[in-house]
Amino acid sequence: MNRIRLLVASLLLSSAVGCAVAPTHVAPARPVAAEPAPAQIDRAALRAKLAERRTITMSHFLAYREARVYPVNTFGGTRHVWQDVNGNLCAAATLISYDWGRASTENVGKENLQIALAKVTSGPLADWILTSGLTHHEIVAIQVPGSDLFPEQPEVKPDPENQRLYGIYLDVERQLTGLGDESLDAATDALMKRPDLARELLAGHVASAGKYTAKTNVATR
């Protein structure tokens, strides 16, 4: 009887020890898939795309200058005029309208008819400048403020003011042409800091009008 008890106790002890040391099988953890890193921006390709944009924007600026249909300042003093009482857009607004369409560009003026792009550092207008092929400084030079030489006759285009603006635009062209390579490098550096816009431009898209987008947007040309 004692032998049986000892045998049973021995079997129980062996079973307990076996359970204690038996290795526990744990399935290996599956590696978490890493998010793919965004593709690096090809600076040379971006510069080439901006060079194309610069050529187009410059051609639009020269066409605007030669048309000599500039806005009349009726605000008093020397002020920026995004759009005058006759519906004429300023030089910068005209350049933007080629990409955004007339209606969306006019929406900028509905928010502020005297907007100065020199003070714009974010938002759709700033984004457009980055994809224009020109630097912020060059766009500011193009947006010449108007002088109210004949505020009592807003329906008439005063020749002295017309000539004043035309002369300034001639100087602006010389600046843009003379500093072409340096400005293109600066424009590329600025856009490289915005990879989202850079990728859009490389895909053939300029910055959109964003909040200024009109429901019915018809291009100016």
Residue 129 has pLDDT above 60, yes or no: yes
Structure confidence by residue, pLDDT tens digits, 12-22: 445 544 444 44
Q: Where does the pLDDT of residue 183 fall: very low under 50, low under 70, confident under 90, or very high at 90 and above?
A: very high
Residue-wise pLDDT for 66-119, tens only, equals 999 999 898 888 999 999 999 999 999 999 999 999 999 999 999 999 999 999
The predicted pLDDT at position 5 comes to 53
Task: Check residue 108 and give its pLDDT.
Answer: 98
Q: What is the pLDDT of residue 181?
A: 94
- Whole-prediction pTM value? 0.78
Break the chain into its structural domains and give their ranges.
43-211
* Angle CA 220–115–189, to nearest 5: 80
Q: Which of 13-27, 52-66, 175-189, 202-216 has the lowest mean pLDDT?
A: 13-27
DSSP string, 27-94: PPPPPPPPPPPPPPP-HHHHHHHHHHHHHHHHHHHHHHHHHT------SSSEE--SB-TT-PBPHHHH
Alpha-carbon distance of 127 to 219, in angstroms, equals 19
- Are the C-beta atoms of residues 136 and 190 closer than 8 Å to each other? yes
For residues 208 and 101, is the Cβ–Cβ distance under 8 A? no
